[in-house]
Amino acid sequence: MPELPEVETTKRGLQPLIVSQVVERAKLYRDNLRWEMPKHLVTTLANQRVNSIHRRGKYLLIEFDVGTLIIHLGMSGSIKVVDNDTPLKKHDHFELGFTNDTVMRLNDPRRFGAVLFSTDGSHPLLDNLGVEPLEDLFDESYLYSKSRNKQQNIKAFIMNSKVVVGVGNIYACESLHQAGINPERKAGSVSKKRYQLLTQCIKTILAQAIEAGGTTLQDFSQVDGSPGYFAQVLSVYGREGELCNVCNGSLQHPLEGCKIARITQNQRSTFYCPICQT
Ligand SMILES: [Zn+2]
């Protein structure tokens, strides 16, 4: 599933390819993805120039004079820019053809993605989003004050997009492991000092993932280009039963059986180390 780093990577890949390009045609190859796609895009976006592209949470925002095209990649979406004469692929559902003979196509086999439009840049899906994890507003003071009296577990708290956007399941597990915080701990019981470490870990892990994604972007504009997703080196996620790479080998934790455990929290798998995450 595309997470914040993949969406950021997609944004950075698209930026040089579509900004300043003029739309010759917008085409919808079906009526709906997760929601209905606005049919008026065919006329609204014709002859419009792309002013800029941004990311908010996991939404891509493509700005035109007439409004903002909002794209979400859902569970399986990817975007590529190819030559105009490239044949459509199965699951290509939406495209913007530009006057420079390139075309941007959204491919989404599972169709949980979205193509939406806003004339003023606001949208109910965007309006209640929390802070961006890579921005300065996201720090220990913010998480500490937001979490007071919260009985919710810390993992669900940092995955709540009204608090902070884009911390998906993998990144929540990895950040909590790196910060040494037990995922079952109540958000309201975590100290400010520990939130300081946690915010640093979240920023570092997301930044590393974005950095890793950048190296795969050469393929981005090629005819058969693959999306800029990438395999990351993971410390706990998907490693149930394997040795913890923090406390295994550490003299401070000479305990046997410091293996990664898996539990279910809020219907999602949580991977963590029962020894060094407290
Ligand atoms: Zn451990």
Cβ proximity of 272 and 236 under 8 Å: yes
Give the Cα separation of 189 and 198 in Å (integer): 14
Together in a domain, 166 and 267: yes
* Residue 25 falls in the annotated catalytic set: no
The boundaries of the domain holding residue 62 are 4-127
- Give the model's pLDDT for residue 228: 37
Q: How many domains does the chain have?
A: 2
Together in a domain, 53 and 76: yes
Strand pairing category for 52-56 and 59-64: antiparallel
Please give the distance, rounded to the nearest whole angstrom, from the Cα atom of residue 175 to the centre of ligand 1: 13
Assign residue 83 the CATH number of its domain: 3.20.190.10
From 105, 127, 149, the end of a domain falls on 127
Within-domain flag for 64: yes
pTM for this prediction: 0.87
Give the Cα separation of 173 and 167 in Å (integer): 9
Query: pLDDT means per 10 residues in the chain (278 residues)?
Result: 86 94 97 96 98 96 98 91 95 97 95 96 93 97 97 97 94 96 98 98 91 53 36 81 81 66 95 94
- Give the model's pLDDT for residue 76: 85
* Residue 185 falls in the annotated catalytic set: no
* Residue 183 falls in the annotated catalytic set: no
Please give the distance, rounded to the nearest whole angstrom, from the Cα atom of residue 155 to the centre of ligand 1: 17
Assign residue 248 the CATH number of its domain: 1.10.8.50
Out of 55, 58, 105, 194, pick the active-site residue: 58
- Give the model's pLDDT for residue 230: 43
- Give the model's pLDDT for residue 216: 46
Together in a domain, 68 and 118: yes
Within-domain flag for 135: no
- Enumerate residues with CB within 5 Å of ligand 1 (an ion): 244, 246-247, 258, 273, 275-276
